[in-house]
Amino acid sequence: MVVVSWIALLFIGLPVFTLIAQAGPLVHNSYPSIIESIVTVDNVLQERKDSTKRITLDVERVTLEGALSMIAEKANLKLSFSRSEVSLSGLVTAKFRDVPVSDVLERITRGTSVVARIASDGQTILISRRIEQPLSDSAKVAVGTVSGRIIDSSTKGGVRGASVVISGTKIGTVTNTTGEFTLNRVPIGERVIAVKLFGYKSVNRAVTVSESGQGNLTISLAAVATSLAGVVTTATGTQRRVEIGNDVTKLNVDSLIKAVPVETISDLLATRVPGVYATPSSGSPGAPTKIRIRGMSSINQSNDPIVIVDGIRLASDQTKNSRNMAVPNATGNQGFLTSSPLDLIDINNVETLEVFKGPSAVALYGSDAANGVIVITTKRGKSGAARYTANISFGMESIPGKWPVNYHMWGHSKYDETIQMRCTLRVQVEGTCIPVNLISYQILDDSRRTPLGRGFSQSYSTTVSGGAGGLNYSLTGSIGSAEGMLKLPKVDAQLLRESGKSIPSWVRNPESNVRRSLGLNVGTEVGRHSNISLSSQLMHTSTAGSPLRNALTYANNAPPETDTMTSGLLTAIPNFRTKIGNQFLKYSTSLDLQSNVGPLLKTQFNIGGDWSFRNDRVSLGATECFVVTATCSNDGIFNTAENLTTVLTSNARASLPLRAGRFVSFNNSLGLNWVRNQDRTLRVNASGLAVGATSGNEAAVFTQNQMQNDRITAGVYLETVIGIANRWYLPLAIRTDAGSALGSQIAPKFPKLGLSYVLSDDNWFLSLPGASAISMLRIRGAFGSAGVQPDKSRNLRTFQSGFETINNSTVQFLSINTIGNTRLRPERSKEYEAGFDLDVLNDRISTTFTFYRKLTNDLIIDEMLPPSIAGLMNQQINLGDLKNTGIEVTVRAVPLDMNAARLSSDFSLSRNKNKLLKLGSRANGGAKPSGVAVGYPLYGYWAREVLGIYDLNEDGYISSTEYILNDSATFLGAPYPSFSLSSNQSLSLFRDITIQAFMQYEHKLTQRREEGAIRANFDPNTPLNVQAAHLYSDMNKIQTLSFFRLQELTLTYAVSPSMTPSILGSRNMRISLRASNVGLWTTYRGKDPKVNGSGGEIIEDNGVIPKPRKWQLTLSII
């Protein structure tokens, strides 16, 4: 099937090429078009207009004169011409079979300076000079050739696709891939060459054309700042932005981070890309951020975008195994999340980051790309002497402001007044606790007992790049460390000291994160037509944590310190002496070979891999019994989990630009993409370690478990971008995949088509009133499809292997694990996107608007399986539909542009509506996450309302039997905002001072938070309905909120070379002071609305450390 579809694709392409060939000119000089080579013309049409003698001719690289002589001979005609008047020296290769002679003459002289015709006597072939119109009188008899190269004024590289026209004539062409062009039959004399290309300022250049021609002309084009200028990196290679029908966000990271010292890729995505919703998991160092692009598309599968670095797929799935795999769930420590693979990428080594947001843009990435694709290009070296840049940064962070207050009714035991205790309403009513004082208290605001302090961070990074002898290189090294805000509370430290226990440093400062990275890129030319480059990144991060983090949860119920208290928080956290850690080592490398085969065909081979080794560990040493109240016992544990994920990528691409006349172009690409994703995990749990034990081997209980997954996807794709008059572009493409995770008969097709029309370049538009104020206006639209694959094992009947010792003999055995579903297909998202790009007032204001509608079908759901089949409860099948609709608007304006001051303002608005349209009737309720219901957004919140209360015993307390909850839950809201608005304001003063402010507003998102010690649980004066609402319903824990945050405020001072310290030489230097999370204005009743401690799709503020306020001082040497 795959082969058939390929052949079909090819046959769609060939007739198109044929049509082009018929319309194209025949060029006799060094770079004739490929089009002519495949001309096949049926002779029926020719016969209608000429009934003269037919001939067969087969000549190869003979002079035109020789060819004409042979024609005359075969047709038994005479040949008549004057060598002084016509030139017949050009070479020609031609094949005709049984073709009328007049047709042969017309064909073989087409495009030359001569015409051949049969004289009226029917016996002679007359050769004469071709007369071109319009020509000046002086030029009618003399023409020349003009050739040259169009280059980019900044990169000095050739510019493809530029229109080159002799003004006042129809003589024109378009530059080839290296920017070269040739104009034939140009009338001699003074001429003006007009060069035009979208994204560049048009150039008119006067030339003198003589019969000997004008060669080696070089014309520079200067890029102009339109929003569509430049190229983006698509699945088929580099593509001009104007040629694609999608909105793509491209960030020039290298230059961006010089102005604003952003630390991670997640930070960039969260603040600079409309349509991206980023939720941090906590404020702990190294904590991951969940990235969602244009909403969620899946219930059971990953919603993470895929990441491509230098053409190589990275293991970047944050959703899978997001938790520390060594932490036992039962200990209450399940909130520990591992570092984000995305944030392992050193931002200092990134040159550009491009975000392709939906299936309409990423169809050619196929079965895994429905959630969007993030394309990262690392730094490249440029020829020239070695240059270095460096960044040094120091940061300090803390949680600003007061925490929500907790309430406690403090009292004493009914039986013993010396026993102080908290009296909940229930024990007050029961009479076992005598209330004394209702107090409000928050341990986190108590400087002696809070486990939160200041965190510190530092980072160093340097890049060396250059090039010599055709070899370009770039080497970037970075190291950074952070110490979290979590601290051993002062009172606990004091108690430990007084008891003579030593306090290890990891208990004093239990959270830390260290990151190291080394990136290398080497590139060189191979021969005249090929380039090869090698790119490698080695990344490592080490994160440490502690159950002390749970202090925030315990703190909600922590009573105020009293005279009778003998310990602090640690007594409430008995396993706080557990060490929790995570190491992540990642290496990715990519080898890229680009070759020009002939003048037009370009090939690219790209292979590489990404290896991620992760080690999660938890240890509770029985020897570390230093806590005051803990006694040493054989309770040590040592758990480790190791995961090795290998992603191997291989790409082969060929691109072939073709032209049909001056106005129609075809950019054709054909490619193969192969990705293998292997995942191995080994978990070892050792418990019951004796005091003094130093390794897991000494454990009383020792278990291990191994898991492996291996998935391969191979896809082929074909794309043609039809360009018309440098204004209309129609990308058409299709990809088909085979995958080991799919049934053998499943080969999904992912089509893509688009339209991009720069109407501001059209004459009719320019004649409209007010058109002169518009620099550029483009309308665009796109449709595409992409998928998300199931795990490999879901389509197979799998077995569980084990060993048993039976009668002293150990045997291996298998049991059925899953029955498999051979019909399982990838989830499939179809997206329609439409919008426009508008630059007005000399590009002072640029706007983009995009509307999208994404439908995801075949959601993979756990369906209830009849247990009579194999005793298994679930089987994954394709069920359910989901819809995402939204808009994205960006406005970039320069309201102030003076010598002394320049203000640049960026605004972006994004809105996404997510709705589950259909879910199979047999979707398994047990496996289905809560918060999924047809007609509502995924992972929304519901709660049952208290309908009535009955204080039957009139004790002033609503017990668990004195209220009625609504039978059905009420929908309270979606976890993502109904819209978000962000703004980045940049004010430059005197060219060396820049102030940047980034602000964010999110409107109406709903999330759940863990309530602390609430007043309703202690205060006997609490109204009964409030008691019931707080104690027995989730209504009060779930809140729909909005917030405005001043996210970043950066002051940068550019030190002129003359003022830089002598030790640095005459270098540009920048000093930045950046404050993040500067201010928060919100309706949220918790501490910070933008935190998700669950690690999953359900947004929950479950007591983790929220986003801190951070101060960061950065010195950049450029």
Q: Does 796 bind another protein (CB under 8 A)?
A: yes
Q: Which of 204, 706, 842, 930 touches another protein (CB under 8 A)?
A: 706
799 versus 1081: smaller Cβ distance to another protein: 799
Q: Find the shortest distance in angstroms from Cβ 803 to another protein.
A: 9
Q: Does 603 bind another protein (CB under 8 A)?
A: yes
C-beta of residue 1006 within 8 angstroms of C-beta of residue 1040: yes
Structure-token match 């984000």, residue found: 340
Identify residues 35-54 at the interface with another protein (CB under 8 A): 36-43, 46, 54
436 Cβ neighbours under 8 A, 6+ residues apart: 409, 410, 411, 412
Identify residues 543-602 at the interface with another protein (CB under 8 A): 597-598, 601
Q: Which of 812, 961, 968, 1021 touches another protein (CB under 8 A)?
A: 812
What single-letter amino acid sits at 143? Answer: V
**Alpha-carbon span 380 to 820, nearest angstrom:** 46
Q: Does 806 bind another protein (CB under 8 A)?
A: yes
Q: Does 6 bind another protein (CB under 8 A)?
A: yes
Q: Does 815 bind another protein (CB under 8 A)?
A: yes
Q: Which of 83, 201, 797, 1085 touches another protein (CB under 8 A)?
A: 797
Selected range binding another protein among 166-174, 213-221, 400-408, 651-659, rule: CB under 8 A: 651-659
Query: What x/- string results for residues 360 through 399 when contact with another protein is judged by CB under 8 A?
Result: ----------------------------------------
97 versus 448: smaller Cβ distance to another protein: 97
DSSP string of 59-71?
EEEEEHHHHHHHH
628 versus 672: smaller Cβ distance to another protein: 672
Q: Find the shortest distance in angstroms from Cβ 817 to another protein.
A: 6
Count Cβ atoms below 10 Å from residue 221 Cβ, excluding itself. Answer: 22
419 versus 701: smaller Cβ distance to another protein: 701
DSSP string of 879-941?
--EEEEEEEEEEEEEEEEE-SSEEEEEEEEEEEEEEEEEE--TTB-TTTSPTT--TTS-TT-E
Q: Find the shortest distance in angstroms from Cβ 747 to another protein.
A: 8
CA angle 995, 1077, 1010 (to 5 degrees): 170
Burial 571-592 (b: 16+ CB within 10 A, else e): bebebbbbbbbbbbbbebbbbb
Q: Find the shortest distance in angstroms from Cβ 871 to another protein.
A: 3
Determine the 3-state secondary structure of 494 from DSSP: helix
Residue 224's DSSP bridge partners are none
C-beta of residue 113 within 8 angstroms of C-beta of residue 87: yes
Pick from 671, 639, 642: nearest CA to 655: 671
Q: Find the shortest distance in angstroms from Cβ 814 to another protein.
A: 4
Query: What x/- string results for residues 866 through 905 when contact with another protein is judged by CB under 8 A?
Result: xxxxxxxx--------------------------------
Q: Which of 710, 762, 945, 1034 touches another protein (CB under 8 A)?
A: 710
Question: What phi-psi label fits residue 564: left (phi over 0), alpha (psi between -120 and 50 degrees) or beta?
Answer: alpha
Q: Find the shortest distance in angstroms from Cβ 875 to another protein.
A: 9
C-beta of residue 129 within 8 angstroms of C-beta of residue 113: yes
C-beta of residue 341 within 8 angstroms of C-beta of residue 586: yes
Pick from 1102, 980, 1111: nearest CA to 1044: 980
Residue 617's DSSP bridge partners are 581, 640
Q: Find the shortest distance in angstroms from Cβ 780 to another protein.
A: 30
Query: What x/- string results for residues 666 through 705 when contact with another protein is judged by CB under 8 A?
Result: ----xxx-x-x-x-x------------------------x
**Alpha-carbon span 737 to 268, nearest angstrom:** 32
**Alpha-carbon span 1081 to 1077, nearest angstrom:** 11
Q: Find the shortest distance in angstroms from Cβ 734 to another protein.
A: 13
418 versus 810: smaller Cβ distance to another protein: 810
**Alpha-carbon span 1031 to 426, nearest angstrom:** 11
Q: Find the shortest distance in angstroms from Cβ 111 to another protein.
A: 11
Q: Find the shortest distance in angstroms from Cβ 931 to another protein.
A: 22
Pick from 339, 326, 331: nearest CA to 580: 326
Q: Does 107 bind another protein (CB under 8 A)?
A: yes
94 versus 1041: smaller Cβ distance to another protein: 94
Q: What length does the chain have? A: 1118
> What are the angstrom distances between the C-alpha of 992 and each of 256, 986, 1069?
16, 13, 10
Q: Find the shortest distance in angstroms from Cβ 219 to another protein.
A: 27
Q: Find the shortest distance in angstroms from Cβ 863 to another protein.
A: 8
Could you tell me how many residues of this chain bind another protein (CB under 8 A)? 96
Q: Please, where are the H alpha helices in 499-573?
A: 505-508, 551-555
C-beta of residue 787 within 8 angstroms of C-beta of residue 826: yes
**Alpha-carbon span 371 to 912, nearest angstrom:** 14
Q: Which of 807, 968, 1021, 1058 touches another protein (CB under 8 A)?
A: 807
CB half-sphere exposure, 937, CA atoms < 13 A? 24
Q: Does 711 bind another protein (CB under 8 A)?
A: yes
Q: Find the shortest distance in angstroms from Cβ 653 to another protein.
A: 9
Identify residues 735-754 at the interface with another protein (CB under 8 A): 738-740, 744, 747
Q: Which of 707, 724, 725, 841 touches another protein (CB under 8 A)?
A: 707
540 versus 676: smaller Cβ distance to another protein: 676
- CB-based burial of residue 699 (10 Å sphere; 0-12 exposed, 13-18 middle, 19+ buried)? buried
Identify residues 760-789 at the interface with another protein (CB under 8 A): none
Q: Which of 137, 804, 954, 967 touches another protein (CB under 8 A)?
A: 804
C-beta of residue 398 within 8 angstroms of C-beta of residue 485: yes
Q: Which of 24, 64, 88, 96 touches another protein (CB under 8 A)?
A: 96
Selected range binding another protein among 534-542, 859-867, 909-917, 980-988, rule: CB under 8 A: 859-867
Selected range binding another protein among 240-248, 433-441, 802-810, 888-896, rule: CB under 8 A: 802-810
For the chain, the straight-line distance linking the first and the last C-alpha, in angstroms and rounded, comes to: 55
Identify residues 481-520 at the interface with another protein (CB under 8 A): none
Q: Which of 20, 24, 34, 1050 touches another protein (CB under 8 A)?
A: 34
159 versus 746: smaller Cβ distance to another protein: 746
Q: Which of 192, 386, 811, 841 touches another protein (CB under 8 A)?
A: 811
Q: Does 793 bind another protein (CB under 8 A)?
A: yes
Query: What x/- string results for residues 920 through 959 when contact with another protein is judged by CB under 8 A?
Result: --x-------------------------------------
Q: Which of 20, 72, 77, 99 touches another protein (CB under 8 A)?
A: 99
261 phi/psi in degrees, rounded to 5: -75, 70
152 versus 679: smaller Cβ distance to another protein: 679
Q: Find the shortest distance in angstroms from Cβ 125 to another protein.
A: 19
Residue 999's DSSP bridge partners are 983, 1046
Q: Find the shortest distance in angstroms from Cβ 162 to another protein.
A: 23
Q: Find the shortest distance in angstroms from Cβ 63 to another protein.
A: 14
**Alpha-carbon span 315 to 809, nearest angstrom:** 42
